[in-house]
Chains A and B, each alone.
Chain A
């Protein structure tokens, strides 16, 4: 689910093909040269000890010259073939889609903000750390960084692209196999660079369209008294300072959008599975799981915490 060797897009497939070709040729060259070196080091073809140290006989010299020249020529040839092959793969990858679903991704220390573009602002879908894409359709990513440099990389889909403050980079791929693929920040970005993962969920177009439509609708407001209490805790004790929940007053964009939080498979950018127990643990003390994380531990009473978690669990 997280490997270059298991490509799930034409882009990643082309690069994997290039890799296997390079690996084969490289392995043969390595084996040949290493074996030759070991052979000549052990064979002692040369002249006797008493021979002139400084001069090799002209005929031997000419033979060596020919062999060395041929080897250099072969090196040039292999490199030339490789260069042409590489450029052809490069051209394939550089074919920019004319019209494509565009997803804005913003790298934060240490999570991924995700926004599905739509001309109609009310249809824009915001989420975090989990990106749904339709199978068989080219998807374009517009990548920006909110703080330091990050790098967006899902090896099954395509190579990585750096997110650099002051720049907008683009990346595109067409998932051709449904599945859940893991990705991770590849550019060192500080304390929690190690725990800045995301998931690509490639699903059939119909399913994706349904997901996207549901995404722009706010979650159902709570009715149960515990859940209402949980929502009050969320709004009044600091959570809403950073997080947004669609359909409520919470609109902050400092931390991940929690509108459909329970629809995601992980907490804290791939650090924990999204279960109730993990969520409780996470809210109690985020730094214990992700030392250095920006999210503070707020002093909740057990009842508050319980209600808050119950409320968050309803954000499907």
Chain B
């Protein structure tokens, strides 16, 4: 590994300072930088993933507060992480994962808002499911959970696990996928019926592509072809919990947890089993969700508590986005996924009582980062106490 050449920054500013590892052109980075500046601090030092990968790492000053952001949506970075796969190809996620976790280990120093070991778990759905299940967080049943989970080498293994675990309806997810990339919602019924709903498209040559359109396959050999192509990268299987609905659309929640507290939440609704917004999902009505939970005899704070419990499995990570799945009838909830980079909800302010009522997800994280003991210790004496201009 070559020596990182990113110069250690020298700044006349003596208060807290931030750095962010990300793709500089990405709005995640600019939204975070805006939040830092809005807190009266100099903008963060932006360390490009591209440079980290090309130069074999990056170093941070002992007092730099370091945020790691998504390496996504940049084809060059994607190529560097995966080795030369086409960006829309679904396959190659194992290589991406290996590249990403290795890159995390090349970041040195700084006050870190993310833990490389936890990120490695968060980007492995099998490991993440295992951690959550052991912490008694409600998760959909899975035969591939944790280190003792079943390996899935292809469609035949999926079929066997469906039978053995009585899971006629399930999600098949690439272990290292993000968004709905490569996810199949599979249902089987009497008389050999089977159907998969997915954004994966089989190109004429047989190659798989992610598309922005959800499609259905009802021939088993098509489904098997998709699954067999995805399996070498690792697959996670999960029972499909029938989701509650809002105005005729299946609904789930994305809840952002910052420093242990559920601060922001949105409802996502869809006419398909995949609720991701880029697949035609849309935002639902949060107040109506609260009403539905109460009408079903539940308590809204209990839902947030489940999200906070999920987040507490990752104590070294300042912020996670929890996908909360309310089961049909709004009587039960399950945690679908915990996302490391699940905070891209521009302009959304915090929940009442969350302490982030006037802050977006980025401002909430900046405020929380400045509250951490490590960051607080960085404040020189004259900067403590009441802030001044």
A binds B: no
Task: Show the binding face of B for A, using Cβ within 8 Å.
Answer: none
Residue numbers of A with Cβ under 8 A of B are none
